Amino acid sequence: MADSNSQRLMRAMSLLSAILLLATGAIHLYLVFTGTGGILGVMFILNGIAGIVLAIAMVTLRGRLLQLATVLGLLFLIATVLALLLALTIGLFGITETWENPFVIPTLVIESIGIVVLGVTTAVAFRTTLASQPTA
């Protein structure tokens, strides 16, 4: 029974994580399609692709590969938030951002929630995998 509950919790957390990763990727791709170009546009395309790939991994992988996907998703969101914060404060690769951009606050909120959710998902993934291993 506990194993069934753990699996359901893992599926729910994986799905929620995937949605947040997709949202992060979608925001960045939207910004590219609405005019962000240059090096920032290239970075946003890569960010969008990474968000989509990680979201797919969250709902398709199991076991140790899912653990890896959760860790990578968490690191991805942390790096994305840090990059935005650097762009807002001291600049990043010569790019500066302002709080007046209408996507800054929603992006920070979604990615910050994503960090918390992916942190929990990572913990659940490791706990679920350890609990399912046979004991000697």
**Which pair of tokens denotes residue 55?**
């979201």
pLDDT of residue 13: 96
- To the nearest 10 degrees (0 to 180), the angle between helices 104-132 and 2-33 is 150
When divided into structural domains, the chain yields a total of: 1
Instruction: Write out the two tokens for 98.
Output: 């302002």
Q: Which range marks the domain in which residue 83 is found? A: 2-132
Rounded average pLDDT per 10-residue block, the chain, 136 residues: 79 97 96 89 95 97 95 98 94 88 94 97 87 57
Nearest-5° Cα angle at 1, 54 to 60: 15
Q: Is 15 buried (19+), middle (13-18) or exposed (0-12) by CB count in 10 A?
A: middle
**Interatomic CA distance for residues 17 and 113, integer angstroms:** 10
> Residues near 56 by Cβ (< 8 Å), separated by ≥ 6?
18
pLDDT of res. 133:
58
What is the structure's pLDDT at 115? 98
Contact (Cβ atoms closer than 8 angstroms) between residue 53 and residue 22: no
Which pLDDT score, from 0 to 100, does residue 1 have? 42
Cβ neighbours, 10 Å, residue 116: 12
